[in-house]
Structures are given as structure tokens and as C-alpha cells.
Amino acid sequence: MQDAQIGLILRQLRRRAALRQVDVGAGRRISRGTVSRAERGQLDSLSVQSLRDVCASVGATLDLSVKWRGPLLDRLVDARHAELCARIVDILRRAGWEAHVEVTFSRFGERGSVDVLGLHRASRSVVVVEVKTMIVSLEELLRSHDVKVRLAPQIVRERWGWRPVRIGRLLVVEGSTANRSRISGAARLASQVLSGRAADARRWLQAPTGADLGAIWFVRPDRSTPNVRQVGQQRIRLPRRRVDPVPPEPER
């Protein structure tokens, strides 16, 4: 969507709500000039937060997207996701669990796939692992994860022929500053179902007894993982510009 289109949408939404530009900014401490620039499509002069505030004031949300070399961007993101899944699969198997990746389901209109489904037959326990490289909406993430946890007993019974008595939910997140900040900002919401952390998850996976697990585990990508190009913070060294010596001024 072009900047001018965004500006036109914001203007029409404001008029639909019968608001003046000064009314839009009053509740969120947005200047009238900021609203005016947004509606004229002059987005380069605004911060992302200012633009989000203007959108929220007229009942809209700002949905940003990044485009880069077509399908190569999806492959890049998928590679990071696959790396985290591989790390969790390795941890589960070392602790004596079976680990199944991308377990699909379709039940009464609810469709999707479980990133990693761990089975511990000895204790009849199951862990439903959701793996995320980036947190966008924690509310939507928790809702989707809850569906998979709720359907886990039926998935296990239909595919493997036994019914679990204990179900753990584990959210594995790439440990970036942005992800930690987003979850910290919604700590009260997350703690309702995911009160545990990495240490709690490790203990439960080693001995899945007692109460069901609910935990968030921040994981750093394994820099030694082969065949996965690591993309992180890198220092960019620019080539030194050649500077020709300044000739001396002629004597007067």
C-alpha cells in the first residue's frame, strides 16, 4: 500500500467518525500537524509510533510488512524457525521423549499444525511446543496455542492409540530483545497460562510428573548448526575511502 493511500484511508476514517484533526490527536497527545502529515501521505516525516497512534485514534491498526527478494525472505525466516525446532527436538530426545515436527490436524473446522509435539509414553505425558522467531500479537499466539493444547489428546489418541493424562504447553521464542520486550509488556496476560521459564521446563521434561507444564523458553540460535546461514547483528565494515594528499599551496 502506498503512502498516499494510507493518508486517504486515515482521512476518510476521521471524517466517518465526525472528528476534526485536532480531535484525533487530543486523547493521545498527537499534534494536529502530525495528523495532517499522516493524512497527506507524508509518512517519511513520522515515527512508526506516531503513525500507530494516529491509526488507533480513528479505530484502525497499522500493519507493517517487509518485502525482500520474493520467496527468499520466506526461506530465510523458515530457516531460523527450523533451527529452533531442531534445537527443541534434540532437547526432547535427550530427555527421553519422542519428538514429532509439524503435526497437522483438522477437527470440526479447526485446522493447523503443531510445531513440535513431544510424547513421553512412560508417564503418558504430552508437550505441545509452539516455536516463534518473532512475536507479533501475543494474544493471537496464546489463542492459537490453546487450540493445539486442547486438541492434543485427540491427536495423540487418533495417531498413536493412547490417551495422555498430562499435557504441557511450552512456548519457545527466539531470545531477541524485541521478543523479550513484547512478552514483558504483556506479562500479566502471558503469566495466566505460561508462568514457568526455561529452568521449570527443563525440570518438567526430565521428570514429567505432577502439575501440567506452562512455560516460556527463550532460546538463542545455535551458532554451530550446519547448513543454516546465521543472520543477526553484524558489524558492517565500509571500505576505506582513498584520500589523495592535498598538494601544498604555492609560495607567494
Give the pLDDT of residue 199: 93
Q: How many domains does the chain have?
A: 2
Same domain? For 79 and 189 the reply is yes
Whether residue 53 lies inside any domain: the answer is yes
**Percent of the chain having pLDDT more than 70?**
83
Give the pLDDT of residue 233: 42
Whether residue 248 lies inside any domain: the answer is no
Q: Residues 67-124: pLDDT tens digits?
A: 766 666 666 667 888 999 999 999 999 999 999 999 999 888 888 999 999 999 999 9
Residue 230: pLDDT above 80? no
Same domain? For 52 and 89 the reply is no
Residue 138: pLDDT above 70? yes
If we measure between CA atoms, which residue out of 12, 33, 9, 29 comes closest to residue 21? Answer: 33
Which CATH number goes with the domain that contains 21? 1.10.260
What confidence category does residue 226 fall into, taking pLDDT thresholds of 50, 70 and 90? very low
DSSP 184-208: HHTHHHHHTT--B-HHHHHHHHHS-
Give the pLDDT of residue 227: 39
Whether residue 237 lies inside any domain: the answer is no
What DSSP element (H or E) covers 111?
strand 110-120
Which CATH number goes with the domain that contains 144? 3.40.1350
Same domain? For 33 and 151 the reply is no
Dist CA 190 CA 171 (whole Å): 10
Boundaries of domain holding 18: 3-57
Average pLDDT, the chain: 83
If we measure between CA atoms, which residue out of 220, 174, 34 comes closest to residue 14? Answer: 34
Q: Residues 204-218: pLDDT tens digits?
A: 999 998 888 999 999
Same domain? For 87 and 19 the reply is no
Same domain? For 191 and 134 the reply is yes
**Percent of the chain having pLDDT more than 90?**
46
Whether residue 101 lies inside any domain: the answer is yes
- Looking at per-residue pLDDT, the higher value among 180 and 234 belongs to 180
Whether residue 242 lies inside any domain: the answer is no
Residue 61: pLDDT above 50? yes
Same domain? For 35 and 149 the reply is no
Q: Specify whether the CB–CB gap between 41 and 3 falls below 8 A.
A: yes
Same domain? For 88 and 197 the reply is yes
Q: What pTM did the predictor assign?
A: 0.62
Whether residue 252 lies inside any domain: the answer is no
Cell of 142: 496464546
